[in-house]
Structure 1
Amino acid sequence: MNILQISTYHATGGAGIAARRLNEALNRAGEASRLLVPQTDFDEPQVTGLAESVFGKKLALARFALDRLTFLPYERDKRDRFQFSPARIGTDISRHPLVRGADVLHLHWTQFGFLSIAGLKKLFGLGKPVVWTLHDMWAFTGGCHYSRGCDHYRTHCRQCPFLRHPGERDLSYRIFEEKTKLFADAPLTFVTPSQWLADLLRSSALAGHFPVQVLPNPIDTTRFRPAADPLAVRQTLGLPADKKLLLFGSLNTEDPRKGFRYVQAALAMLKKELSDTALVVFGKTNPDALSRLALPVHNLGSIASEEKMIRVYQATDALLMPSLEDNFPNTIIESLACGTPVVGFRTGGIPEQIQHRETGWLAEPQSAADLARGLRWVLDEADRPSMRQRAAAFVEQEIRYEVVSQQFRKLYSGL
């Protein structure tokens, strides 16, 4: 069976990393899986980029820019510029040899100038079985990636809070209408990494009638695993050996959805108790915001190397994950696989990843006080070695490559 994974990104962003890992897991399991992306980040077997020439890469960048420009006249706030995708711009891959030769097409995250709604329609028109792993809500909304509590997708999108001029027939309404036509008789099976997202999908007017399976994003536990000597790992990273280390980061820590303001508030509450603690931060950050934190900060910046990211998890004592809305963050699974407990809000799919008081702490949503309680508990827990062992064991049993690849093989065979 020939399986083609299709993703906007190769090895960046949560969805791109998840698509790449699934492709790798399936190949290790003996399946003929390929990953098709607009352009590759590095040479990798079974991964193909549409644009590998200088001109092709410039064209891909132009499509991304044009896609964002199509939303510019509608955006309510520049902070929401990447939270809504009209999907007007894209390329036609329906005639690509890998698409033509595939028995199953497996879509992942395909926005930002890769596949438009028209491009998706051409893929569905081929008549091949299509699996679509949802990494956010976009497939069943009028354009937003996360609805921030708006439930218009359950009936018909309109009055969109992301738009400058919301109305009964605004941009979200029109995109919703286009998707209604797109999904008519589409040969679709949805996959969601979390039960939370599956429940939202089933409640949606656009896609609630399609079959959906809950299958997690896999992780390679031969690479992501606890360190034999965490202090030695700290030394390689230049981190202090005499401090407890908290970890926070994301692709963009300034994204309001990632909840950095609750980290600031929780640390301020614990200021007197954290004299022996420091914060390690990775990702795109605001230096001014870091300077106002109530404890020393080690800013690692953006980390492109997976091996370095593994060492960061191994070197720290707990990961902070106060997302206000999230599906199945890779960051949590990566941290747990390395034996590092996680403190996060009880939102989205996060409660399906963290076992409360076993592998971390689930705080009440938007409660800095409960987040502080979780930090205190994790750092003071007398049996932290056992907690680290439980965290790594959970991932090994449930989410490692071998387990998840078999689940997807069964799904593909059933189609």
Structure 2
Amino acid sequence: MALRKKNIVQINVESNFGSTGKICVNISDYLESHENEPHIAHGPIHRDTSNSTYQIGTKLDYYLHILNTRIFDKHGLGSKKATKDFLNKLKVLKPDLIHLHNIHGYYINYELLFEFIKETNIPVVWTLHDCWSFTGHCTHFEYIDCEKYKTACTKCPLTYTYPKSWLVDRSSKNFAQKKASFTGVKNLTLVPVSEWLGTKVEQSFLRHYPIHTITNGIDVSTFEPKNTSAYKVERGWNNFKIILGVASVWDKTKGWEDFIKIAPHLKDDEKIILVGLSKQQIEVLPENIIGIERTDSKEELIQLYSLADVFMNLTYADTYPTTNLEAFSCGTPVITYKTGGSVEEITDYNGAIIEQGNYLEAYKVFNKMGATFKKEHSQTIRNNAIKKFDKSFQLKKYDELYQSLLN
């Protein structure tokens, strides 16, 4: 039986935008449908003006927080007034439970937030979508084989990455401040979104908390195979074998350079389609790579997942990519680098795992698969996605977790 009339506040950098923002909305809709009182507090950039949402800070607060990060490497330590205003709002709401997601993203002060949590002893669920919570700077460290997070971060080799610092390496102090803030909470449960991330948490200063892995889910009734014949003809792609890549931001860690390196090896009847590129990136693409800017159109994404012969995820840093799940749900196999949680759902019948950086091997595997692999396995891939990845399973697990904490 679901919770009744419980006031649950989620906090995330985004609401109804990006993968984590959509997860927040899915949870909120589920809670509301079960007669609870859900709220979402989010940052100021991607505004969500729907009911029961609260914007933390203004765009000016956001840009000042960015400046504080770029110059002083003090990410998560700006936005003091915005955070105090939000905490006053929380005092009025009196939530039964707080559900944290990404508290990085230039919008909230984590020290003030955790002071409030420790003072009030409100039960907290913290879904970890990356590694930022237990490092001195970065969100991902796997692709440089860094293990400083296990003891103490110092002399960070990734200050040039998000959350980028131009001048200062404050990783040692950041690590100590995070450890002081994030430890000592009486009623906190951590929810890594992959088994891989769970193993990293168990080796960090957060290891003393209960860890309850809940993987991401998607709407399998929306992401389903489509007949794309007309769509391909309209765009002149009907005679091509298609490799698809999708990312919200394309850079070296997402395999941008590796796709460019594959291009000279493509046959005349093969093309790569990359979704989520900037206009500047599209302008420099070789002729056999088709670039598409970021789209919020699910319909277009579904068409692209459905028409692709393979979804290729050449990521060097990923926790548990929902893009893989979306491709599976549309019946499309996935080739991925051996990276983080990206490999956790790959089997012999739905794709292949390639060592990081071996882009030519990824391309060779695509050629070995050919069009017949998808035709033979598409329905099995789709059926497995329905059984394992539907968001309803994820939502029920969160509901059960909430109940266990509140009862």
Q: Specify the TM-score bucket, using the shorter chain as the normaliser.
A: 0.7 to 0.9
> Which of 243, 248, 263 lines up with 1:246 in the alignment?
243
> Residues 362 and 374 of structure 1 are in contact (CA less than 8 Å); yes or no, is this contact kept in structure 2?
no
Aligned residue type for 1:358: Y
Alignment partner, residue 234 of structure 1: 232
1:21/1:219 contact within 8 Å kept: no
Q: Quickly say closer, same or farther: Cα 1:62–1:162, change in 2 above 3 A.
A: same
Confirm or deny: 8 A CA contact 1:29 1:405 kept in the other structure: no
Q: Is the 8 A contact 2:128 2:193 kept in 1?
A: yes
Name the stretch that deviates more: 8-17 or 339-348: 8-17
Q: Deviations over 1:210-247 (max 9, x none)?
A: 111111112111211111x12134356x3522222221
Cα distance in structure 1, aligned partners of 2:252 and 2:171? 22
Pairwise CA distance, 1:368:
1.6
Q: Which amino acid is 1:384 matched to?
A: K
Amino acid at match of 2:218: I
**1:30 positional shift:** 5.8
Q: Which deviations, in whole Å up to 9, do the C-alpha atoms of 1:28-86 show, x marking residues without a partner?
A: 566543322234645545x51326xxxxxxx52112211221122357xxxxxxxx935
Secondary structure of the 2:88 match is coil
Partner of 2:261: 265
CA contact (8 A) 1:343 1:362 kept: yes
Deviations 1:296-350 (A, max 9, x none): 2332212122332222222322222100011011211112112222211011001
Match of 2:114 among 103, 112, 121: 121
For 1:222 and 1:196, locate their aligned partners in 2 and report how far apart those are by CA, in whole Å: 27
Name 1:112's counterpart in structure 2. 105
Please say if residues 87 and 111 of structure 1, whose CA atoms lie closer than 8 Å, have aligned partners that are also in contact. no
State whether residues 100 and 127 of structure 2, in contact with CA within 8 Å, keep that contact through their aligned partners in structure 1: yes
Q: Which residue of 1 aligns with 2:203?
A: 203
Larger mean CA deviation between 32-41 and 214-223 belongs to 32-41
- Aligned equivalents of 2:377, 2:50: Cα separation in 1: 36
TM-superposition CA deviations, 1:82-122 (whole Å, max 9, x none) = xx935433523222258733211111112222221223223
Cα displacement (A) at 1:6: 1.2
| Alpha-carbon contact 1:217-1:399 (below 8 Å) kept | yes
Count of residue pairs brought into register by the alignment: 386
Aligned CA RMSD, in angstroms, stands at 2.7
2:71 equivalent among 64, 70, 73: 73
Among 133, 137, 142, which residue is 2:131 paired with?
Answer: 137
Which letter maps to 1:138?
A: W
> Which residue number corresponds to residue 394 of structure 2?
404
TM-score (norm 1): 0.84
* Structure-1 residue corresponding to 2:268: 275
Give unpaired runs (5+ residues) of structure 2: 1-5
| 1:96 partner SS | helix
Are positions 1:368 and 2:394 aligned together?
A: no
Residue 388 (str. 1) matches residue 353 (str. 2): no
Aligned equivalent of 2:306: 314
Deviation string, structure 1 residues 248-301 (Cα, Å, up to 9, x no partner)? 231221x22101222222343x33xx22122222213365677453x5233221
Question: Secondary structure at the residue paired with 2:65?
Answer: helix
State the shift of 1:155 in Å: 0.5
> Structure 2-normalised TM-score?
0.86
**2:218 aligned residue:** 219
Amino acid of the structure 1 residue aligned with 2:245? F
